[in-house]
Amino acid sequence: MMDKTNPLYETRSRRAGILFHISSLPGPYGIGDLGNQAKAFAWFLSGCGCSLWQILPLGPTGFGNSPYAARSSFAGNELFISPEILAEERLLGKDDLAGLAAAFGACDAGRVDYGLVETKKLPVLKKAAAAFLAGAQDADAAEYRTFCENERFWLDDYALFQVLCCLYHDARWHSLWDPAAAKHGKDALEKIRKENGVELEYWKVLQWFFQRQWKALKSHVNGRNIKIIGDIPIFAAPDSVDTWSHIDLFRTAPEGGFSVVSGVPPDYFSPTGQLWGNPIYDWEKMKRQDYSWWIARIKRLLDLVDMFRIDHFRGFDAYWAVPAGNPTAEHGTWERGPGADFFYALKAALGELPVIAEDLGFMTEGVKALRDGQGFPGMKVCQFGFQGMKDGAFDPRHAFLPHNYSYNWAAYTGTHDNDTTSGWYDKLSAVDKRAVAEYLNAADGSARGTAAARGPAAGITGAEAAWAMIRAVAASYAKYAIFPLQDILGLGTGARMNIPATCGSYNWSWRLPGKLPEGLDAEAASRFKRIMTLYGRC
């Protein structure tokens, strides 16, 4: 072993992780949850030699089931609550579990049917909430009351919002609710509170269940020397409790409604851009309030995770504002974001921020200066290094190719917005496959030699291309190397998590079939750990 006092010894740590969201965990209740399968995945991470588990945002999903368009920036997704843990706590019975499992027995285990999960699972969870309220022991009751008091900033509004969503059968408060409820009419809301007091309490208890189960899981994960990387969308969803309860913090039109909405201009993912439709903050007003809403939001997130990725980081430097009502994101304008002042305020209130900046897309010098000035690692996605490849030719100076990464980066084969690496590779032309395989040094022995001697796919499958890319990213100098679980398992396009600029039941619904640990390949874990050890990431 090299003497660490030797000046040639690399003292800066380099770590490895896996990207895998809670919803994608296997299990019998329609969607991944915080129970035994999540704990089993933590053991798999340990077996892989990983010290990082990256997830997507944890909030309750709304329209399109996207975790990046949650109904709350503070609440946890109730659908992640484990019924098995509730049964262990005698809040549910064996018949409840059997009936719930039977409701999903005929479903495709490889996909989440969000509508069915909400219809079948929520009533069972509320049954457990009723049992808790009826029989909570003194210690549990006191702990629950403390939780409600500590989280009052968002919890009361969230419970009321969920009740209103049920009453109006929709979350689009700005267009489909009664105006008195939409505009916080005091008498209207007081009447709803009185008539729905029990239901309000159920939603609070469900958040308490989520909090308690999540903290237990996090303790288990941290006990394996693994840190959890969370994710925070820059924008709030238009049909969220955030916009309903804090409409004054968003830019609105004089006649009502949002004046501008968010998106990105045409890019690699979409020729017409991505029209996200999220309302845009009134940053000047937020600054006058010392960014108190954002400070509360980040404080809440740091109570749940160890590190976090900021989605669409460039929006803090400049954001793409599209006039409300436009059908695409093509006709917007760049407007200035809050800049470094925003992060100075966060750090003054919360201390140093363990952030990964999602800085993908077109980066200006201003965005780079903001990222580097705060010391945040940015992101590199290896698949993007072959962007614009033509007839097997790509630019070896491309910033997303692993040999060009410097230290302060989080490097990925792909993200939740990419095709799986196997699926991506399989769609390349024969000549482009040869070029990618050659760069990754993945041609087998029979295919080496002259260009003419190489086979059309350089002798490798999509799954082996994924492994070759994993090796290349692991060998890079980047501080963090993080890999979607689908790439480690060599899965194809059918396991893709999301297709940007689209909305349908396919997106966000992929689940790992089977049951852990049987659903994970022990040989894949061993192979992954050997690679991470080889390049000093274990």
Q: b/e string for 276-311 if b means 16 or more Cβ within 10 A?
A: bbbbbbbbeebeeeebebbbbbbebbbebbbbbbbb
Structure tokens at 353: 């921020």
Catalytic residue selected from 151, 157, 311, 464: 311
Catalytic residue selected from 151, 231, 358, 359: 358
The one-digit pLDDT tens for each residue of the chain (538 residues) are 556 666 766 789 999 999 999 999 999 999 999 999 999 999 999 999 999 999 999 999 988 999 999 999 999 999 999 999 999 999 999 999 999 999 998 665 689 999 999 999 999 999 999 999 998 777 789 999 999 999 999 999 999 999 999 999 999 999 999 999 999 999 999 999 999 999 999 999 999 999 999 999 999 999 999 999 999 999 999 999 999 999 999 999 887 789 999 998 887 667 898 898 999 999 999 999 999 999 999 999 999 999 999 999 999 999 999 999 999 999 999 999 999 999 999 999 999 999 999 999 878 999 999 999 999 999 999 999 999 899 999 999 999 999 999 999 999 999 999 999 999 999 999 999 999 999 999 875 333 444 444 444 456 999 999 999 999 999 999 999 999 999 999 999 999 999 987 888 789 999 998 877 766 778 899 999 999 999 999 9
Report the relative pairing of strands 355-357 and 307-311 from DSSP bridges: parallel
Residue type, 127: K
358 is catalytic: yes
Smallest Cα–Cα separation from 231: which of 52, 402, 351?
52
Catalytic residue selected from 78, 359, 417, 419: 417
CA distances to 2, 411, 515, 537 from 518, rounded to whole Å, are 38, 29, 6, 26
CA distances to 108, 207, 398 from 419, rounded to whole Å, are 21, 33, 20
Report the relative pairing of strands 307-311 and 318-323 from DSSP bridges: unpaired
